[in-house]
Chain A
Amino acid sequence: SIKEPPQNPPPRPPADLRRKRL
């Protein structure tokens, strides 16, 4: 059903836009 979110992890943010958090 479209009401259920995908069962796979979402993609990480695009690499060039990723903030460094660790």
Chain B
Amino acid sequence: GPIILETYRAISDYSKNSKREVDLSAGDMLEIIEKNPNGWWFCQCESRRGWVPASYLEPLEGPDEAEEPEPNYEGELYETIKAYTATQEDEFTLQAGEIIEVIHKLLDGWWVVRKGEETGYYPSMFLCKTGLRKEA
């Protein structure tokens, strides 16, 4: 049967930083072709095709974030595969090879992670699930 693409609306202007991306103007209607869990979604908008940040989109229909999983406060163990330096105060600065707990996998690609007593955001693309099990 025909493939029905979901329509999203741009909530703000966005200027692309590479040829793979497309510019957005607030109010643009986009059809989403692929939702990558790293927070970049592949879309088409009229004749343009490319990647846009999911954080700048809202669904045209349906409840907000219907697909987004609930927080899992127990946490899942992930390893950082790339260092990231926080640019905002609610983000984490971590080196590659650190073990953290993921407690909320957000569609915008910024996951809430916990390390010790602290929580903060970290880019999901720099995380890899470990084979480790949490101690009881």
B-contacting residues of A (Cβ < 8 Å)? 2-14, 17, 21-22
Residues of A within 8 A of B125 (CB): 7, 9
Q: A20's closest neighbor in chain B, by CB?
A: B90
With CB as the reference atom, state the residue of chain A lying closest to B71.
Answer: A21
How many of chain B's residues touch chain A, expressed as a range? Answer: 35 or more
Starting from the known contacts A14-B12, A22-B112, 4 additional A-B residue pairs (CB-CB under 8 Å) come to A2-B50, A2-B51, A10-B54, A11-B53
| A6–B56 touching, CB < 8 Å | no
Q: Is the CB of A10 within 8 A of B38?
A: yes
Which secondary structure dominates chain B's binding surface?
mixed
Interface residues in chain B, defined as those with a beta carbon under 8 Å from any beta carbon in chain A = 11-12, 14, 17-21, 36, 38-40, 42, 49-51, 53-56, 84, 88, 90, 104, 106, 108-110, 112, 119-121, 123, 125-126
- The A interface, classified by DSSP as helix, strand, loop or mixed, is loop
Return the 7 tightest CB-CB contacts between A and B, nearest first. Answer: A9-B123, A10-B53, A13-B55, A5-B40, A10-B39, A14-B12, A10-B109
